[in-house]
A = this chain, B = another copy of it.
Amino acid sequence: MSSTYGQILRLSIFGQSHGPAIGMTLDGIPAGLPVDLEALQSFLDRRAPGQGDYATPRKEADRPEFLSGLLGGHTCGAPLAAVIRNTNTRSKDYEALHDCPRPGHADFSAQMKYGGAQDVAGGGHFSGRLTAPLCIAGGLCKQFLAQQGIQIGAHLASVGQVRDICFDPLAPQLAQVGSFPALSPEAGAQMLAAIAEARAERDSLGGVIECAAVGLPAGLGEPMFGGMENRVAAILFGIPAVKAVEFGAGFHAAGLRGSENNDAFVMERHQVRTATNHAGGILGGITTGMPLLFRVAVKPTPSIAKQQQTVSLSQGIEVPLEIKGRHDPCIAPRAVPVVEAAAAIAIYDAFLEYNARK
């Protein structure tokens, strides 16, 4: 099974980039929760293509139609199901690629797995477009978490070689991200310039996204394989192009001493807190009540206009490749809400499991 996630929730994502529609079912949500469809649309708009110079000009409204699970603006206990029609497909762009897998894409591994039965148009089920239904599910979970006082936000920590400031690990500035998801306007401007430059050179850039959740109770998550890190990572790697995840101090912690990395416990307004947050709000897989903090690496868009080398699978020879079509020179900005969505799903699932044993 492939496109299914969750323990108390069960998310199932379906669709191919150039098929009739993409969508999701989300089973296991409690009944009676209010859903704000306008706020959901605003959230989806953050991911939608065609927003600026840094994104593909393919314009699709990404307006979900809910088929199930809502009644009078509330969840009704039936599985939530929503679809987004694919209206702007140009499959002919992809036909030549059937024999020649694009470097950095799933074309080759899918060909080996499915023996040619897979849908190659637009990347098929491997397309970044499948993050739209992930954002439907995650946007809903964000709302349900907010109803419990839990907020999630993310921003670009870097694009290519341009680095921005990071969240305050003790009190992340979730609300300060504008239309371009950089914390500081200066870094944002430099990131946009770097993306424009890469595009002009028919190339692409990667980036790092930092995400935080605040307001979590201490005690979410289960030991070993049910830990928050396991759950969050297991969904994050479902976002195409994510190649790395680190929690709290992450790889940096590996170079520290215990006396530096350990977060001392302190009393703050009669509450137990930690003086630092190298743990990213998670100890033993379980939330401490401090902000949950992680970063993901997004690789540079593999579809570039520059000539590359690939092989012809039918002829068994190396051939040059020039990719046509519409592609983001950097997908990291549009991936910011996707990372929030994935985190929200994992955290809400853990929240419900926490309730089960309270």
Given contacts A79-B13, A235-B225, contact A108 B283 (CB under 8 A): yes
Total interface residues on A, CB under 8 Å, equals 157
Given contacts A66-B20, A67-B83, A283-B109, contact A249 B12 (CB under 8 A): no
Shortest beta-carbon contacts, A-B, top 8: A106-B284, A244-B246, A2-B222, A204-B258, A78-B125, A112-B218, A32-B117, A356-B356
Which of A36-44, A45-53, A293-301 makes up part of the contact surface? A293-301
| Contact bitstring A46-79, B, C-beta under 8 A = 1, else 0 | 0000000000000000000111110100111111
- Does A125 contact B77, Cβ atoms closer than 8 Å? yes
- Does A2 contact B226, Cβ atoms closer than 8 Å? yes
Q: Quick check: is A250 within 8 A (CB to CB) of the other chain?
A: yes
- Does A76 contact B316, Cβ atoms closer than 8 Å? no
Which residues of the other chain, B, contact A105 by a CB distance below 8 angstroms? 283-284
A113 to chain B, nearest CB (A): 4
Given contacts A27-B2, A77-B125, contact A244 B247 (CB under 8 A): yes
Which residues of the other chain, B, contact A6 by a CB distance below 8 angstroms? 1
Which of A147-155, A169-177, A180-188, A260-268 makes up part of the contact surface? A260-268
Q: Which of B3, B207, B258 contacts A104 (CB 8 A)?
A: B258
A51 to chain B, nearest CB (A): 20
Which residues of the other chain, B, contact A227 by a CB distance below 8 angstroms? 237-238
- Does A238 contact B259, Cβ atoms closer than 8 Å? no
Q: Quick check: is A355 within 8 A (CB to CB) of the other chain?
A: yes
Which residues of the other chain, B, contact A25 by a CB distance below 8 angstroms? 12, 14, 25
